[in-house]
């Protein structure tokens, strides 16, 4: 068929104003919403070209089954194409494209979808022979911005891409192929010098339901699998699965830049989209990790020269993905000169560093080692001291002593003096003692503050002692002596019923909590059951827990916490002989230091009470059992809650911003209120010892607020942050309310103040 410049005479009932007969015209903006349209074998388009099916700008053909005639014509410059102009849509359930049609001049037989067009079809059959732009025949062209929305997209076995590289499946910038089951031809090519990829330029998307991968006899791969090939022609792996990218990585030279953070669909167990890395050359190799979400994994190093990776995505959420750099890791420490290090060489990712034996530290050149605190000691006895003893120890010190005794010996450590920064948490300066020589050996304790630790005896014939100081407060430090002795407890527990404690030249037996040593010094018998608890948190249980408590037992717990804070008791389990008035077995809780304080509750039965909070910093518990029924008892945890009511007296008392003041910064999200009351006719004086709260011009983030009364409706004495009030503060009345607030960002040291009652109320600090 040949296109003509002018139409023949009109006939066939076609309106005369078209100037040509027998064509099927869908003008601008029109829609044909039919399920089975029949298109005549002979019809005309615009005046310049007869016999084609023309869908102009903005038109839509909505049909369930659209049959396109075998012979029709497009624009005057090229006969017999199936032409979809700019912005047109063909939405059909079954679209059959004729086997013969033409595109732009110089390039016959294309299936042309211009800019912005959409083909939304459940079954789209593309002819085996068609052509694209004039410079390159036989390819399937989807220009910028076009979309192919299809349930089943069949791509011909032979087509061409840009002029520089034949036979690709070309999706230009911004195009999308959204399909449930894409089939990619067995022969495709990419840019020059790199054959056989599926070419997807920047901005393009192929969104598809996962399908099993296919591999051609030539080794080419298709969507559903990908392979990584090393330069130099080394072997690579092709591995199928869901839509995935995987392969065996071998070392290449380092890449100067690190990859951007990963962006893979997040899931707790990485069950949907994930990157899996194994230490070896196959899926059976040891798993290093499975990664998803937005957090970039730490650097990964294989134990050999191979690393196996697999990327998997499902058919739902899509993210940006990941990018990694891989390179050959050289062990500089394996060189004959030990990496230039005098004592130890530590290999790191992409580099290395020098280290020193215990008792030595790196010199300024970071290669040589010089004497420092700590050391490796094999003497049976001796002494160790903190650096600078008996003067204050210097900041930023880290000393490690390793003590080794003969086999079957144990090492005991006894402190003669002890004083470091801190008290309970030991976050800043501390001494750490372990049985063993490494940092992960059994921990005996982490010590700080001014209280001397008890004698510590190692479980084995070696001991590790580490001292560490930060860059702030320095104290006098410590002095300790150690001695080694044959362990009599290693045989038959030394004859002790409960515990055997080895000592120098001898040993002694000890009993567990609730028991005391018998007169024979080996057996144990029941003891009193009175406890003093001073920690900020912990667990309390009935005698013999979790077994049944004994009969005729009376146990007490006197709990005290940081001044200015309250004790909170939370039950985790309760099983005490039940009686309506709890007359027989019971647990009684008091709001104070002993049983003379007000009762907060008496409990029995199996129903766990609600949490109980004291009004001050002390709480007293008493458990009583009679001689009849015994149950499991109780288990409860105690913790510290800020705020409360306090009495100002002539004697000065302390108040801290948080229970772990001095060890940790104040926590975020705090809202605490204290009311300090004096006797009638007296006022309250506040003296600030330490004040360090996040600073802001209006004190809008973290702050302390003072009110001259019992609550927030009283006159405000001031709101403070930063370094706090410049001097003492006095109330006009007999009470002061203190409110402390912290947000969830920056945390500082907090505050420590002292309060007392006073008759001198002439000076009022009313800073607003």
Residue 557: what pLDDT? 93
Residues 6+ apart with CB under 8 A from 329: 251, 301, 302, 349, 350
Query: Is-cis flag, bond preceding 546, omega within 30?
Result: yes
Three-class SS state of 329: coil
In terms of DSSP H, where are the helices of 328-465?
A: none
The CA distance from 465 to 411, in Å, is: 12
E strand map for 302-406: 306-312, 344-348, 351-355, 360-362, 369-371, 375-377, 381-385, 398-404
- pLDDT: is 480 or 210 the higher one? 480
pLDDT of 262 reads: 63
Q: Which two tokens stand for residue 74?
A: 């497009």
Point out which residues pair with 351 in neighbouring strands.
348
SS3 737: strand
What local confidence, expressed as pLDDT, does residue 359 receive?
66
The dihedral formed by the CA atoms of 146, 150, 156 and 157, expressed in degrees to the nearest 10? 110
Q: Can you say whether residue 580 is alpha, beta or left, with left for phi > 0 and alpha for psi between -120 and 50 degrees?
A: alpha
Tens digits of per-residue pLDDT, 576-606? 999 888 989 999 999 999 999 999 999 999 9
Which residues partner with 704 through β-bridges? Answer: 720, 740
Better-predicted residue by pLDDT, 725 or 153: 725
- pLDDT given for residue 154 in this prediction: 41
pLDDT for 637 equals 94
Strand 586-590 to 618-625 pairing: antiparallel
Q: Which domains occur in the chain, in start order?
A: 214-329 (2.60.120.290), 332-371 (2.10.25.10), 375-486 (2.60.120.290), 489-526 (2.10.25.10), 530-641 (2.60.120.290), 644-758 (2.60.120.290)
Q: 11 pLDDT band (50/70/90 cuts)?
A: very low
* Residue of 431, 423, 504 whose CA lies nearest to 464: 431
**pLDDT (0 to 100) of residue 581:** 87
Residue bearing the bigger pLDDT, 125 or 238: 125
* Residue 61 banded pLDDT, cuts 50, 70, 90: low
pLDDT, tens digit, 9 for 90 and up, residues 670-718: 899 999 999 888 999 999 999 999 998 889 899 999 999 988 889 999 9
The H or E element spanning position 502 is strand 499-503
The per-residue pLDDT for 311 is 92
Quote the CA–CA distance of 732 and 652 in Å, as a whole number. Answer: 19
Instruction: State how far Cα 576 lies from the chain centre.
Output: 42
Residue 27 has pLDDT above 80, yes or no: no
Give the tens place of pLDDT for each residue, 215-256: 333 333 333 333 332 333 333 333 333 333 444 444 443 444
pLDDT digits (tens, 9 = 90+) for 191-204: 333 333 344 433 34
For residue 290, give the nearest of 306, 312, 307 by alpha carbon: 312
Q: What is the mean pLDDT of the chain?
A: 71
| pLDDT at 192 (0 to 100) | 38
> What are the phi and psi torsion angles at 661 (to 5°)?
-60, 135
Peptide bond into 390 cis (omega under 30): yes
Please give the pLDDT value at position 514. Answer: 62
pLDDT higher than threshold 60 for residue 31: no
Give the pLDDT confidence score for residue 89 in this predicted structure.
52
Lowest mean pLDDT, pick from 50-64, 286-300, 322-336, 714-728: 50-64
Confidence check: pLDDT of 9 > 60: no
Residue keyed to tokens 């430090």: 477
| DSSP codes, 461-488 | SEEEEEEE--SS----EEEEEEEEEE-G
pLDDT on residue 305 = 85
| pLDDT of the residue at 271 | 85
How far apart CA 15 and CA 19 sit, in angstroms, is: 8
Convert the pLDDT of each residue in 176-192 to its tens digit.
544 333 333 333 333 33
Q: Has residue 452 got a pLDDT over 80?
A: yes
Q: Six-digit token pair at 382?
A: 């001796």
Helix (H) or strand (E) holding 647: strand 644-647
Confidence of residue 332 (pLDDT cuts 50, 70, 90): confident
CA gap 176, 171 in Å, rounded = 8
- Residue-wise pLDDT tens digits, 502-538: 776 788 998 866 678 888 999 887 767 888 898 888 9
Asked whether residue 270 carries a pLDDT value surpassing 50, the answer given is: yes
Checking if the pLDDT of 205 tops 60, the result is no
Q: In the chain, what percentage of residues exceed pLDDT 90?
A: 29
Residue 518: predicted pLDDT:
87
Among the listed ranges 415-424, 719-728, 759-768, which one has the minimum average pLDDT value?
759-768
Bigger pLDDT: 170 vs 438: 438
**Residue 176 contacts residue 113 (beta carbons within 8 Å):** no
| pLDDT for the residue 261 | 56
Between 347 and 23, the higher pLDDT residue: 347
Structure tokens at 160: 């061409």
Q: Is the pTM of this model over 0.75?
A: no
Q: How far is CA 90 from the centre of its chain?
A: 48
- Per DSSP, 494 falls in state G
Q: Out of 41-55, 563-577, 597-611, which region has the weakest mean confidence (pLDDT)?
A: 41-55
The whole-number average pLDDT for the span 95-108 is 40
Angle ∠(417,421,425) on CA atoms, nearest 5: 105
Q: What is the mean pLDDT of residues 641-665?
A: 87
pLDDT over 50 at 624, yes or no: yes
- pLDDT value, residue 96: 42
What's the rounded Cα separation, in Å, for the pair 528 and 276? 59
Strands (E), 678-732: 683-692, 703-707, 716-720, 729-730
* pLDDT at residue 60 in the model: 54
Say if residue 490's pLDDT is above 70. Answer: yes
Q: Quick one: pLDDT at residue 480?
A: 95
pLDDT at 684: 92
Helices (H) and strands (E) in the chain, counts: 0, 51
Chain segment 306-328, per-residue pLDDT in tens: 899 999 998 788 888 888 888 88
Q: Is the pLDDT of residue 358 over 80?
A: no
Query: Percent of the chain, pLDDT > 70?
Result: 63
Q: Cβ(418)–Cβ(450) under 8 Å? A: yes
Stretch 475-503: mean pLDDT: 87
Highest mean pLDDT pick, 14-23, 123-132, 518-527: 518-527
């Amino acid at each position: 068929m040949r296109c003509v410049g002018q139409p023949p005479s009109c006939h066939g009932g076609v309106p005369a104003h078209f100037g040509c007969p027998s064509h099927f015209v869908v003008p601008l903006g029109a829609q044909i919403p039919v399920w089975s349209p029949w298109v005549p074998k002979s019809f005309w388009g615009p005046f310049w070209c007869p016999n084609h099916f023309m869908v102009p700008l903005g038109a839509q053909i909505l049909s369930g089954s659209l049959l396109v005639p075998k012979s029709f014509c497009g624009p005057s410059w090229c006969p017999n194409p199936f032409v979809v102009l700019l912005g047109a849509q063909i939405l059909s359930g079954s679209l059959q494209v004729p086997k013969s049609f033409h595109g732009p001049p110089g390039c016959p037989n294309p299936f042309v979808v211009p800019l912005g067009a959409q083909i939304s079809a459940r079954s789209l059959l593309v002819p085996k022979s068609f052509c694209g732009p004039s410079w390159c025949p036989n390819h399937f062209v989807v220009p910028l911005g076009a979309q192919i929305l299809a349930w089943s997209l069949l791509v011909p076995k032979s087509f061409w891409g840009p002029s520089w590289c034949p036979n690709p499946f070309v999706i230009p910038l911004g195009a999308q192929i959204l399909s449930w089951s894409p089939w990619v031809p067995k022969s495709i090519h990419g840019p020059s010098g790199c054959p056989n990829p599926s070419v997807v330029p920047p901005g393009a998307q192929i969104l598809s339901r996962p399908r099993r991968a296919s591999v051609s006899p030539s080794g080419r791969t298709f969507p559903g699998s990908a392979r990584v090939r090393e330069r130099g022609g080394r072997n690579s792996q092709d591995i199928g699965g869901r839509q995935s990218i995987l392969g065996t990585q071998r070392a290449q030279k380092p890449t100067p830049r690190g990859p951007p953070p990963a962006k893979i669909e997040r899931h707790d167990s990485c069950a949907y989209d994930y990157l899996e890395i194994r230490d070896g050359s196959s899926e059976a190799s040891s798993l290093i990790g499975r990664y998803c979400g937005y957090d970039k994994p730490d650097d990964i190093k294989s134990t050999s020269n191979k690393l196996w990776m697999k990327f998997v995505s499902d058919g739902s959420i899509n993210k940006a993905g990941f990018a990694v750099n891989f390179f050959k890791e050289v062990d500089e420490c394996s060189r004959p000169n030990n990496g230039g290090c005098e004592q130890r060489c530590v290999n790191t990712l992409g580099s290395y560093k020098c280290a020193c034996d215990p008792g030595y530290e790196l010199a300024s050149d970071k290669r040589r080692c010089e004497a420092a605190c700590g050391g490796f000691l094999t003497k049976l006895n001796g002494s160790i001291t903190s650096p600078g003893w008996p003067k204050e120890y210097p900041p930023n010190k880290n000393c490690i002593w390793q003590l080794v005794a003969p086999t079957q010996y144990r090492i005991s450590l006894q402190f003669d003096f002890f004083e470091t920064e801190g008290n309970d948490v030991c976050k800043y300066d501390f001494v750490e003692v372990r049985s063993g020589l490494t940092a992960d050996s059994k921990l005996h304790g982490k010590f700080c503050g001014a209280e001397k630790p008890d004698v510590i005896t190692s479980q084995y014939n070696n001991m590790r002692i580490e001292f560490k100081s930060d860059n702030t407060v320095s104290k006098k430090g410590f002095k300790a002596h150690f001695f080694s002795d044959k362990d009599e407890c290693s045989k038959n527990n030394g004859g002790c019923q409960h515990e055997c404690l080895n000592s120098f030249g001898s040993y002694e037996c000890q009993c567990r909590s609730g028991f005391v040593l018998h007169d024979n010094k080996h057996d144990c018998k029941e003891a009193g059951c009175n406890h003093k608890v001073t920690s900020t948190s912990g667990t309390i249980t009935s005698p013999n827990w979790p077994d049944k408590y004994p009969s005729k037992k009376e146990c007490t717990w006197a709990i005290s916490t940081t001044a200015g804070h309250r004790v909170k008791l939370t039950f985790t389990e309760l099983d005490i002989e039940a009686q309506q008035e709890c007359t027989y077995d019971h647990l009684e809780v008091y709001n104070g230091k002993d049983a003379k304080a007000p009762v907060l509750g008496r409990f029995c039965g199996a129903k766990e009470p609600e949490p109980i909070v004291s009004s001050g910093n002390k709480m007293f518990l008493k458990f009583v059992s009679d001689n009849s029924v015994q149950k499991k008892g109780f288990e409860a945890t105690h913790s510290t809650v800020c705020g409360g009511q306090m009495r100002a007296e002539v004697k000065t008392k302390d108040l801290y911003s948080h229970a772990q003041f001095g060890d940790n910064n104040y926590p975020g999200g705090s809202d605490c209120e204290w009311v300090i009351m004096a006797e009638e006719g007296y006022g309250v004086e506040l003296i600030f010892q330490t004040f360090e709260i996040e600073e802001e011009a209006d004190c809008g983030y973290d702050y302390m607020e003072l009110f001259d009364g019992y609550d927030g409706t009283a006159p405000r004495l001031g709101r403070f942050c930063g370094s706090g009030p410049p001097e003492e503060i006095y109330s006009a009345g007999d009470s002061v309310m203190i409110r402390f607030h912290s947000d969830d960002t920056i945390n500082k040291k907090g505050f420590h103040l002292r309060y007392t009652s006073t008759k001198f109320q002439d000076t009022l600090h009313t800073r607003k």
